[in-house]
Chains A and B, each alone.
Chain A
Amino acid sequence: MALIEAQGLEKRYPGTDVKAVAGIGFQVERGEAFGFLGPNGAGKSSTMRMLACVSRPSGGTLRILDRDPVSHGRELRARLGVVPQDDALDLQLTVRENLIVYGLYFGLSLTHMRAKSAELLEFAQLAEKAGERVEHLSGGMRRRLTIARSLVNDPDILLLDEPTTGLDPQARHILWDRLFRLKSAGVTLILTTHYMDEAEQLCDRLVIMDKGLIADEGTPRELIERHVTREVLELRFPPGEQEAAGEKLGGDVEVLPDRLLCYADDGDAVLGRVTELGLHPLTALVRRATLEDVFLRLTGRSLTD
């Protein structure tokens, strides 16, 4: 039995006509890392809030741990861990107190939380910061604390809304490492991101969301194989020459405002043809296809714009 089952799930906010989530279906199995990849406004957070049992679906069906999130919200919330997009830490408490007090909200005892908080601080590499006010933490530390906080109740499912947005590369890698550990410990992870490398690194399976809908679903490899070639040749030309070069080259080419993408199983062969045709790109780069290319293929837009 899947831990989460959604069918035709919709969210429309009061006072608006637009469906932030316009009918999506997916299943999440125990122990898997499941991702929602999509640009700003795709409806990722709206979906996550419904999964967290704080936002009532406006249509479709949703079952979490075989229960209804509306009628059994409170009971379910006790078994979920949530890392919201904004940390929303308790700014008036210290790092350790944030963990302890949060545990109390879950009905855990003070004695239990004293021990548990030490363990979580260790896990989040925040032991030295235990007595500091949250205000004095860096963005990466806050994020780690928010993740540690979401683990107070040893959740069955951990929901992470953009866990690494706004962090520097080093902080992201530390976080990824922590999430890998949780995953190996058997925690089911559901995360949203608009970084394709993050989705490729962390997710066993993912859906690509755009405008409230799911564009496709699969493992990162499957999606890449289904929609794009093995390699991509990126070419940059002086402004104005892009279109012409694209037409001359022909084949499977995507013309973007700032560059050309040529999809091919052998990128170097295409690069050879570019030279034969007498084209002189400013830069040329052969790379492996990524989820970003998949997204571009599915929606005609790049993820980051």
Chain B
Amino acid sequence: MSRLPAAGGAHLVVLRNVWVHKGGTPWTMALFSVYEPILYLLAMGVGVGALVGRVPGVDVPYAAFIAPALLATAMMNSALEETTQTVYGKLAFDRYYHSLLVTPVTIRGMVAGELLWAVLRALVTGVGFLVVIVAFGLARSPLVILAVPAGLLTAFAFGAAGLAAAAYARGWHSFQYVQLVMLPMFLFATTFYPVTVYTGWVRVLVEALPLYHAIELSRGLALGEVGPGLLLNAAYLLAFGGVMLAVAQARWTTLMAR
């Protein structure tokens, strides 16, 4: 009758999360997740955009320039939220993963499942914000639709990092460090202006940030400026996510073996 679940039971961890969220439809979920980026789009895109006009060198309206970056960050934030605070609560307070330990679900399955869920959660956000972009008349190219799958890669990379962080956290206060990294990254990783404003080592530094590559990828597709550079951005995110996933898997294994 029963067979051991495949993939360490990862899909079952996803299913459980879907089940818990069944009260909220994907649309209410999306609505909450696009609220913040819409505010940025209005304040910066429309407000600051009125001063800026068209972005030099790229030649698109300012709002259309930042919209794909906001899409990438919104998807990133959705994945991070699910894998840091939510996962940590289930780990330290609900002891949810400990209760899974005695089932055939494996530790790798738990980690993979939470990551998959985070990516799905980001998908809902991504689709929601894509609708916003189109509704605001900011779609410059049909390729903008590909910014959503690009965002999934971003969600994978940051979700994996979030899972590693959750396993290293020593309390809720630990997540302040995550904020300490995430906020400047959001502000400076070319969300609001092209990377050409930077020169020298600052530019090198910014180009080393994973969010920079997420934004490049998203913006390149959304503005229809497709080139081989985008493959490099994607490869960077894939590699970063892969390393983070390996770190997370290792850390979760020692943590749960206690």
Contacts and interface: CB of A to CB of B under 8 A. Distances in A.
Contacts of B95: 86, 88
A106 B94 contact: no
Interface band, chain A? 20 to 34
Given A74-B106, A78-B4, A86-B95, A105 B101 contact: no
Interface stretch (B11-19, B27-35, B49-57): B11-19
Nearest to B106: A74
B103 A102 contact: yes
Contact of B99 (A75, A77, A84, A92): A84
A52 B102 contact: yes
B2 A90 contact: no
Interface in A89-108: 89-93, 97, 101-102, 104-108
Contacts of B16: 90, 93, 101, 104
Interface string B44-72: 00000000000000000000000000000
A88 B97 CA distance: 9
A88 B257 CA distance: 17
B215 interface: no
Contacts of A117: none
B20 A93 contact: yes
Looking at A77, A105, A106, the one whose CB has the most chain B CB atoms below 10 A away is A105
B101 A54 contact: yes
Contacts of A288: none
A105 B9 contact: yes
Nearest to B95: A88
B116 to A, nearest CB: 15
Interface string A50-76: 001111100000000000000000110
B119 interface: no
B205 interface: no
A80 B5 contact: no
B102 A106 contact: no
A56 B103 CA distance: 16
Interface in A22-60: 52-56
Given A74-B106, A77-B104, A105 B98 contact: no
B109 to A, nearest CB: 9
B94 A56 contact: no
A54 B96 CA distance: 15
Contacts of A287: none
Contact of B258 (A14, A88, A92): A14
A90 B103 contact: no
B173 interface: no
A53 to B, nearest CB: 8
A91 to B, nearest CB: 5
B104 A107 contact: yes
A74 B2 CA distance: 13
B100 interface: yes
B258 A82 contact: no
A280 to B, nearest CB: 54
Contact of B100 (A53, A89, A91, A105): A105
A56 B254 CA distance: 12
Contact of B2 (A14, A56, A78): A78
A112 B1 contact: yes
Nearest to B101: A54
A13 B5 CA distance: 30
A153 interface: yes
A153 B2 contact: yes
B94 A13 contact: no
Contacts of B122: none
8 contacts: A14-B258, A55-B257, A74-B104, A78-B2, A84-B102, A91-B94, A97-B19, A107-B104
Given A77-B103, A102-B103, 18 more contacts: A52-B102, A53-B102, A54-B102, A56-B257, A77-B104, A78-B103, A78-B104, A84-B102, A88-B94, A90-B16, A90-B94, A90-B96, A93-B19, A101-B19, A104-B5, A105-B104, A106-B5, A107-B3
Interface of A: 13-14, 52-56, 74-75, 77-78, 80, 82, 84, 86, 88-93, 97, 101-102, 104-108, 112, 153
Interface of B: 1-5, 9, 12, 15-16, 19-20, 94-96, 98-106, 257-258
State the 9 A-B residue pairs at the shortest beta-carbon distance, nearest first. Answer: A88-B99, A82-B102, A105-B103, A88-B95, A107-B5, A107-B2, A54-B101, A92-B20, A78-B104
